[in-house]
Structure 1
Amino acid sequence: MSARDAILKRLRQRADGPLTAPESDFAVVTNRGWSPEERLVNFERWITSVHGEVVHVARDDWARGLAQLLADKGVRRLALGREHPVAAEARRALADADVELVDADRDIEGWQREQFERVDAGLTSTGGGIAETGSLWLWPTPDEPRLISLVPPIHIAVLDADTIEDTFFDLVEAQGWAGGMPTNALLVSGPSKTADIEQTLAYGVHGPRELVVLVRHVGGAAGAGA
C-alpha cells in the first residue's frame, strides 16, 4: 500500500465518521439577476476597459464581418482550426480572400518559429463569456490549440451573445465543471499586458497586443446598448 493510499484509508476510517463538505453560502458570487441585454452591456464595458475590442455581427452573416475585420487589420496570415464549426465556416468564407489560412492542428515543434514570426492573427471559438469581469472562456482542443490565442499579435475570438453568464460561479455551475472540470480551460480578459516597476502598462509583450471579440447575435448585429 502506498503512502497516499494509507492516508486516504485513515481518512475514510475516521472514528467520528466520514468527512463531508461544509455548508457554504455562495450568494456573494452569484444571483446577479441580469437580463441577457444587461449581461452583454456589462461584458462589453469591462472587456473594452482593458483594451479589448468588440464587434457586433449577425450570426448568419458573421463571416463577412470577419473578412472585413481582417482587411481592416491588414491580416494576411490567419491561424485557425479545421473541424470546429467556427473554423470551418471561416475557411469557406475566406476561400477566395487575400488571406493565407494556416492550419493550427500541428505539433508545435513543427511550426513554432512560423507561429511566432509569420502569423498575423489567430481565430478561435469560445465557450462563452462572463459579464461580471468581461472575460471569455476557451476550452482548447487539438483542433484549436491554446497557442493560437496566446502567440499571434492579434487574437480574434467568436462569441455567441446568448452564451454569456453573469459570474464565474454561474459558468462553473452551468457547465458542470464540479463533476468534470476541463484540464486546460482559458480565461481571457483582454490582450496581453504587463507592467514595469513604475506600473506603466505595456501591451503585447508576452502575447497578443490586440483582442477582438466578434459577438454574434441571432437576427441581427445589435450593439450592447440596444
Structure 2
Amino acid sequence: MSARDNILNKLRSSLEDTKPRPDDFNVDLVTKPWSYDSTQGKIKQLRAMMESVRTEVYQTTQAEWVSIFADVLKQKQVNNLLYAPTVKWGTQIENYWAKNTTLPTLKTYDRPVEEWKHELFFEVDASITSTLGGIAATGSLIVWPTTEEPRLMSLVPPIHFAILEASKIANNFYEAQQILNWADNTPTNALLISGPSKTADIEQVLAYGAHGPKELIVIILEDA
C-alpha cells in the first residue's frame, strides 16, 4: 500500500460513526447589525467608510454626473482617460466630450495588453469603470471585470473613477450575494474595492499607489 493510500484510508476510517454537523447558520447575525434605514442611510455609511481610507466620493444624478466628472478631471490635470465606449456610461462620456473639445484625450482598451503594455502602464493617467453595486457596511465597491472593462482598467492607471448606482448599494455582503444570485452564478473574478491601493510593508510607513491606483474616486448616481 502506498503512503497516499494509507493516508486516505486513515481519513476515511476517521469518519466512521460520525454525523455531519447540522447547518445552524443564523442569517440575522450577518444582516441585522449591518442594515441601514434607507438608500440615504446606505449612502451615508458607505461614504463614511470609504472616505475614512482616503477615497473621494461625489453624489450626483444621471443628468449632471458627466459635467462633475469633467470638472474633477480638470482639477487633477488629467491628460487622458481610459474608458469603455460600449457601456452606458461610455456613450454619455462621448456625447459630452463631443461638445467640449478641451477635455482629456479618450483612450479605449481595444487590443491585447501585449500590444500596448508600455502605454497602458506608463502613459494612461486615469480610467473610469462601472460597478455591479456597493456594500454599505464595509464601504466597498463590487466590480466584475468583463471584456469591455478588463481588470487592468481598474488596477493600472494611477487614478480610478468608479460609477456606483445608489439603488445597487446593498446593506451588507450577504445581502449583496443574494441580490446578485452568486449561489448560482458565482463570478470568476469579482473584486471588492474599498479604497486606493496602499501598503505599509516597508518600515511601516503608509504609502499609496504601491499595488494599484493611488486615487479612487467614486461617483454615486442617486437617481439610478
> What band does the TM-score fall into relative to the shorter chain?
0.7 to 0.9
Q: TM-score, normalised by structure 1?
A: 0.84
- Among 160, 163, 166, the residue aligned to 1:155: 160
What is the SS of the residue equivalent to 1:30?
helix
Q: Quick one: distance in 1 between partners of 2:22 and 2:95? A: 50
1:105/1:144 contact within 8 Å kept: no
Q: Quick one: distance in 2 between partners of 1:139 and 1:21? A: 33
Q: Quick one: distance in 1 between partners of 2:110 and 2:49? A: 32
Matched, 1:60 2:63: yes
2:35/2:137 contact within 8 Å kept: no
- Report what 1:92 is aligned to: 95
- Among 83, 100, 121, the residue aligned to 2:86: 83
Matched, 1:47 2:70: no
Q: Quick one: distance in 1 between partners of 2:222 and 2:180? A: 21
List 4+ stretches of structure 1 deviating above 6 A.
none
1:24 Cα offset (Å): 1.4
Matched, 1:188 2:188: no
Q: How does 1:1-226 map to 2 (within 5 A)?
A: 22-31=23-32, 32-34=34-36, 35-95=38-98, 96-97=100-101, 98-218=103-223
What is the SS of the residue equivalent to 2:49?
helix
1:27 Cα offset (Å): 1.8
Structure 1: any 5+ residue segments left out of the alignment? 1-6, 220-226
Counterparts in 2 of 1:189 and 1:36: CA distance versus 1, 3 Å: same
Q: Quick one: distance in 1 between partners of 2:44 and 2:110? A: 34
Q: Quick one: distance in 2 between partners of 1:27 and 1:107? A: 46
Counterparts in 2 of 1:79 and 1:21: CA distance versus 1, 3 Å: farther
Counterparts in 2 of 1:88 and 1:20: CA distance versus 1, 3 Å: farther
2:128/2:162 contact within 8 Å kept: yes
Counterparts in 2 of 1:21 and 1:115: CA distance versus 1, 3 Å: farther
- Report what 1:222 is aligned to: none
Structure 2 residue identity aligned to 1:62: W
1:139/1:184 contact within 8 Å kept: yes
Q: TM-score, normalised by structure 2?
A: 0.85
**RMSD of aligned alpha carbons:** 2.3
Structure 2 residue identity aligned to 1:147: L
1:147 Cα offset (Å): 0.6
Structure 1 residue identity aligned to 2:26: D
**What does the per-residue CA deviation read over 1:53-89, in whole Å, with 9 as the maximum and x for residues that have no partner?**
0012222221111111111111111011121101221
The alignment-based identity, stated in percent, is: 41
Q: Which has the larger radius of gyration?
A: 2
Q: Quick one: distance in 2 between partners of 1:33 and 1:209? A: 30
- Deviates most, 163-172 or 191-200: 191-200
Q: Quick one: distance in 1 between partners of 2:166 and 2:114? A: 36
Structure 1 residue identity aligned to 2:74: A
1:36 Cα offset (Å): 1.3
Structure 2: any 5+ residue segments left out of the alignment? 1-7
What is the SS of the residue equivalent to 1:79?
strand
**What does the per-residue CA deviation read over 1:138-159, in whole Å, with 9 as the maximum and x for residues that have no partner?**
1111110111111101000011
